[in-house]
A and B are shown apart, each in its own frame.
Chain A
Amino acid sequence: MTASLRRLEIAVAVSLLLLGAFATWGAAEMPFGTAAMPGPGMMPMALGLLLMLSAAGLIVLELRAPATDAAVVLGNRHVALGIALIIVAGLLFERVGFIVTSTLFLFVMLASLSPLGWWRSLLAAVAASIATSYIFQNLLGVTLPPLPFVT
């Protein structure tokens, strides 16, 4: 997918503006304190306001800048798959254990990225998961979540 660089920059600046607004709103509910005894709300409030100001400045600068046709490649299915798989793996990690999560993660990645085909991808994923589990748990002493129902 290709996107206009300018639009992307404005989209990021708007996101920062919203983040600043959210922080300011959240900080307003915290004790502000006094000048002699600043409370926990002082810093987030100041930072939120400053972030809103700088993001607004960025938006104005981008809108006033001369138009260009600069474009950026913004993701393809590999990138989307990579992000989605990491998040799904994080959600499954403790629920189904390391071996299952790792096999699933590697299988989907290899099947979609490599020329191995799905059978060989599955075999490679299983073998790599078992080997990784052995190396990290037995050799490096890292505790990984076990398979469900296995103690």
Chain B
Amino acid sequence: MDTLQSLLQGFSVALRPDNLFYCVIGCLWGTVVGVLPGLGPLAGLTLLLPLTYQLDPASAVIMLAGIFYGAMYGGSTTSILVRIPGEAASIITCIDGHEMAKQGRAGPALMIAAIGSFIGGTVSVVGLMLFAPPLAKIMLQIGPAAEFGLMVLALLVLSFVSGGPPLKTLAMVLTGLLISTVGVDLITAYPRFTFGQIQFTEGISFVAIALGLFGVSEILINLEEIAKVKVIKPTLRSLVPRLKDLRDSAPAIGRGTVIGFIFGFIPGISHVISTFVSYAVERKLSNEPEAFGTGKIEGVAGPETANNATTGSAMIPLLVLGIPAIPATAILLSALQIHGVQPGPELMSKHPEVFWGLIASMYIGNIVLLVLNLPLVGLFVNLLRIPYVYLAPGVLLVSMIGIYSVNSNANEIVIMGIFGAIGYVLRKAKFDPAPLLLAIVLGDRMEVSLRRALTISNGDWWALAQGAMSKIFLGAIVLLAVLQGAAWFFGFRRRMIEDADKV
């Protein structure tokens, strides 16, 4: 009953005309960045983040969440019509989606992707609504020692599921944690690595780092290969799927929803992994596994549903624990913190309008996306005709304005450029910058909770393993470390990557 009342309160926030407007703008911008190759949800979020500073926290997070799941929707369009994934989670959709388009069935592929995305996204929000409140009650009882264990566990899970070799991920995590120490020490106010510069006393701007590492570096990589794309343009009439398409897709959509929701909890690249798992499951369960890759609609329905079903569950660690599971939710965390709202177990009680407003807006956003995507698919496809040579300078200019507007400090543009170059080199050397970004976000809390736990226990390191929650987290850390070691030893990871390449 409480949940229902809170949800109604959330709808009263989300249905305010200004918030509806921001929700639509977020969904629209998200779809655009999802459609445009090289501008995924992360770049879309970071580009628009500075412009949300003038909004109230609920409006800001509603718009940013709209970008997040809008990009998940939009990514499938380019995968199907051009065979270029708009973002990483749509890679697998290229296989059967584009084959369907080549056979003149682009319309049903887009329609099923949109329906699957809608169902996956909506069910996922229901899960978020049901799981978040009880989890928050448990998390309210944990002390600094358990909080430190939770942070270590989050970073360890990230290194376990991240695509690259564990040592590379560890190096990125440590670099991120090190960057988070720049600025005034939160406990003693001692300046660390500030080089006497006032602008570094609050640390290096997270937004400048995020924009550089993801937005700018992505554009730089795309500038290397400026190619014209051949677009298959569907008509509105051809969007209607056959009854057989709906019948074939329904089980795949159901399974994709469950897979996506479960994988959304896992930090790292869960939205990408969930699509691969969903595709593999559909092929395994199919009566004609050999037909996958030749335009099977289940190969579109399952992964696209899974991809969107991660959006709700990925919000649970962010909203309940204050831990972003993926880089996109790290941007949402940063946006909330800038507005003085700290995500975590107290979010629901201290800022119910933000928490429930966001949940209600996600229901509305999924409907907005369904309504937007189908009639406007022709318009979105035309965006692909804009040559990248005109798009790239425009996006870079907007990034510069965005980053300047945060603190009216032009030095942050320089920092963004430097981190753009760093991100470019890291990607070329096969280092994933996502763990670095997440570690920057978690760094402060991790250090403060460790130092507080040690102070409370008078320097007793064993205190980190006291208490039920600490023991659970420590047990999970040990288990993961053992699994990681075993996987490394038996070369399991190499075989898994080889198998994924064959897919």
Residues on A facing B (Cβ under 8 Å)? 3, 5, 8-9, 11-13, 16, 19-20, 23, 26-27, 30-31, 34-44, 47-48, 50-51, 54-55, 57-58, 61, 72-76, 78-79, 82-83, 85-87, 89-91, 93-94, 98, 102, 105-106, 109-110, 113-115, 128, 132, 136, 140-145
**A82 close to B171 (CB less than 8 A):** no
**Subset of 29 A-B contacts with CB under 8 Å:** A8-B429, A9-B429, A12-B425, A12-B429, A19-B175, A26-B193, A31-B188, A36-B454, A39-B188, A54-B167, A58-B167, A58-B168, A73-B224, A75-B424, A76-B223, A79-B220, A79-B224, A82-B223, A82-B392, A83-B421, A86-B420, A93-B413, A105-B393, A106-B393, A110-B390, A110-B393, A113-B393, A128-B394, A143-B405
Q: Which of B175, B401, B404 contacts A132 (CB 8 A)?
A: B401
Q: Which of A40, A55, A87 contacts B418 (CB 8 A)?
A: A87
Closest residue on chain A to residue B457 by CB atoms: A36
Residues of B within 8 A of A38 (CB): 450-451, 454-455
Residues of A within 8 A of B226 (CB): 78, 113
Q: Which of B193, B389, B417, B428 contacts A44 (CB 8 A)?
A: B193
B413 nearest CB across to chain A (Å): 3
**B393 close to A48 (CB less than 8 A):** no
Say whether chain B's binding surface is mostly helix, strand, loop, or mixed. helix
In the assembled complex, B185 has its CB within 8 A of some CB on chain A:
yes
Residues of B within 8 A of A36 (CB): 454-455, 458-459
In the assembled complex, B426 has its CB within 8 A of some CB on chain A:
yes
B26 nearest CB across to chain A (Å): 15
Say whether chain A's binding surface is mostly helix, strand, loop, or mixed. helix
Residues on B facing A (Cβ under 8 Å)? 51, 54, 165, 167-168, 170-171, 174-175, 177-178, 181, 185, 187-188, 190, 192-193, 216, 219-220, 223-224, 226, 387, 389-390, 392-394, 396-398, 400-401, 404-405, 408, 410-418, 420-421, 424-426, 428-431, 447, 450-451, 454-455, 458-461
With A113-B393, A114-B390, A142-B401 already in contact, the answer to whether A93 and B167 are too (CB < 8 A) is no
**B387 close to A83 (CB less than 8 A):** no
Most buried by A among B181, B387, B416, B420: B181
Residues of A within 8 A of B178 (CB): 19-20, 23, 44, 47-48, 51
B105 nearest CB across to chain A (Å): 36
**A12 close to B431 (CB less than 8 A):** yes
**A109 close to B174 (CB less than 8 A):** no
Residues of B within 8 A of A35 (CB): 454, 459-461
With A36-B459, A48-B178, A76-B224 already in contact, the answer to whether A5 and B430 are too (CB < 8 A) is yes
Closest residue on chain B to residue A143 by CB atoms: B408
Residues of A within 8 A of B408 (CB): 143
Closest residue on chain B to residue A42 by CB atoms: B451
Q: Which of A20, A31, A113 contacts B389 (CB 8 A)?
A: A113
**B455 close to A37 (CB less than 8 A):** yes
Closest residue on chain A to residue B212 by CB atoms: A86
How many angstroms between the C-alpha atoms of A73 and B224 in the bound complex? 8
How many angstroms between the C-alpha atoms of A41 and B459 in the bound complex? 16
**A12 close to B426 (CB less than 8 A):** yes
**A51 close to B387 (CB less than 8 A):** no
